[in-house]
């Protein structure tokens, strides 16, 4: 959510930032509602002062035996009370309108974010590894002989419908090993705190991180009002919902491995083959809570944490900074990490690492006390994939596929597989 004081102080800058996202100027509407709200508050305060003054004079009039003045003042007090009630209701209504409007407006892009219309305008900032050359035509993950026995879409469709998968045998074990490897790396090498969170949350938690009200169609809601998390960003970030932290207790760095659920309402017809885009998937998610002065450096650090996973797996990737047209609504700046998938002969997104600034913190009322003293300030929140487990599995098997249909597995995973180094053409670990 946006700071109304900042919009009041520089509406032109606010509108200019929105225009970079292709959004029409909004400051005039915002400030008109804000002015109506403040006018109602001021009028209520003035009426309250008049009512208080009249109430004090009622007793004096009665003491003087001035019945006419006594009755006039009593009527005035009653009139002012009614007026105050009406004005307070008006102020409350305008405040709700203002909050709803501010909550629906996307975050303002960082100055470093390039202008652009869509993903074609994203800017590459880093690349790792060489794209592999195969002596054969590489297959997509679901067609690799070693993988087919352990990746069952037909049974999953019988159980749950489209965009689900049932993993078994070597593929299931590889999936579990990847998640464990990611967690161990982030905890032991990157200093993140492992956290196990619920996957069902209250509605206000979805508001806190910006999934609601605008993107409710992308998530699932239960019949009793809980929401299934689209990512552990929701739970990890909302740990500080309503809290005021000590500056010397920051940054807070969390990591969680969870099930995630997305309706994929906005991706109809995209990636319908294989397990690249699923309604239910697993992800290792990172979240940092920092001070404003530290958030830019923390964004770089989190990006390196995500990149380190792919480097240990020896998988080629590139990192891009998203342009204004591709930037998520709640984020100020995002790095996408795109992994090379030989079966598709292209880079595909495997992680997003983003800084939200104080946008989520205002929605959550999450603050910190500066060590130097002064009023509490809003924290900055950051989140990032570290990584999406299923997409990493796809990258591992596609880059490790061999001409005989087997898959060679990265050496860093061998200890997690009891020394097994490959999946044979018939789907067994060996």
| 352 in active site | yes
| 391 in active site | yes
| 233 in active site | no
User: Taking every pair of C-alpha atoms in the chain, what is the biggest distance, in angstroms?
Assistant: 109
Cis peptide before 387 (omega within 30 of 0): yes
On whether the CB atoms of residues 428 and 169 are closer than 8 A, the answer is yes
SS3 (DSSP) at 236: helix
| 173 in active site | no
On whether the CB atoms of residues 24 and 16 are closer than 8 A, the answer is no
Task: Read off the DSSP letter of residue 223.
Answer: T
User: 239-243: which pairs have CB atoms within 8 A and are 24 or more residues apart?
Assistant: 239/195, 239/289, 240/289, 240/361, 240/364, 240/366, 240/379, 240/381, 241/204, 241/205, 241/208, 241/364, 241/365, 241/366, 242/364, 242/365, 242/366, 243/366, 243/367
| 8 in active site | no
The packing angle between helices 295-312 and 169-188, to 10°, is 140
Active-site residue, from 262, 301, 362, 422: 262
Cis peptide before 318 (omega within 30 of 0): no
SS3 (DSSP) at 74: helix
HEC assignment per residue over 132-157: CCCCCCCCCHHHCCCCHHHEEHHHHH
Active-site residue, from 21, 277, 318, 348: 277
Active-site residue, from 219, 352, 354, 406: 352
Active-site residue, from 79, 83, 247, 349: 349
On whether the CB atoms of residues 41 and 91 are closer than 8 A, the answer is yes
Active-site residue, from 391, 398, 406, 422: 391
Beta bridge partners of 256: 285
Q: Which active-site residues does the annotation give? A: 262, 277, 349, 352, 391
């Amino acid at each position: 959510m946006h700071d109304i004081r900042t919009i009041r102080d520089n509406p032109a800058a606010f509108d200019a930032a929105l225009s970079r996202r292709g959004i029409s100027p909004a400051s005039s509407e915002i400030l008109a509602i804000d002015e109506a709200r403040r006018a109602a508050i001021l009028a209520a305060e003035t009426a309250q002062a008049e009512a208080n003054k009249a109430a004090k004079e009622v007793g004096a009039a009665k003491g003087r035996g001035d019945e006419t003045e006594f009755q006039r003042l009593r009527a005035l007090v009653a009139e002012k009370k009614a007026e105050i009630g009406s004005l307070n209701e008006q102020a409350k209504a305008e405040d709700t309108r203002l909050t709803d409007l501010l909550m629906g407006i996307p975050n303002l892009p960082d100055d470093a974010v390039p202008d652009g219309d869509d993903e074609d305008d994203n800017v590459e900032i880093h690349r790792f590894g060489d794209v592999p050359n195969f002596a054969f035509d590489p297959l997509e993950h679901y067609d690799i002989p070693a993988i087919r026995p352990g990746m069952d879409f037909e049974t999953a469709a019988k159980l749950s419908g489209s965009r689900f998968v049932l993993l078994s045998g070597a593929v299931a074990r590889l999936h579990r090993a990847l998640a464990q490897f990611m967690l161990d790396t982030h905890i032991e090498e990157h200093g993140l705190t492992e956290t196990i969170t619920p996957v069902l949350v209250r509605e206000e938690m979805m508001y806190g991180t910006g999934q609601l009200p605008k993107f409710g169609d992308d998530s699932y809601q239960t019949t009793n009002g809980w929401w299934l998390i689209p990512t552990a960003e929701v739970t990890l970030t909302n740990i500080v919902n309503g809290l005021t932290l000590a500056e010397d207790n920051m940054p807070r760095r969390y990591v969680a491995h969870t099930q995630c659920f997305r309706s994929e309402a906005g991706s109809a017809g995209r990636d319908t083959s294989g397990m690249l885009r699923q309604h239910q998937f697993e992800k290792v998610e990172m979240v940092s809570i920092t001070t404003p002065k530290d958030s830019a450096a923390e964004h770089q650090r989190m990006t390196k944490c995500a990149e380190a996973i792919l480097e240990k797996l020896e998988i080629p990737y590139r990192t891009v900074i998203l342009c204004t047209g591709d930037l998520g609504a709640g984020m100020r700046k995002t790095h996408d990490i795109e992994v090379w998938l030989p079966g598709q002969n292209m880079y595909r997104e495997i992680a997003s690492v983003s800084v939200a600034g104080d946008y989520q913190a205002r929605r959550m009322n999450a603050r910190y006390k500066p060590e130097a003293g002064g009023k509490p300030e809003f924290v900055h929140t950051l989140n990032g994939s570290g990584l999406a487990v299923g997409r990493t599995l796809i990258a591992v098997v596609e880059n490790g596929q061999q001409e005989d249909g087997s898959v060679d597995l990265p050496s860093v995973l061998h200890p997690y597989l009891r020394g097994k180094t490959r999946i044979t053409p018939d789907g067994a670990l060996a």
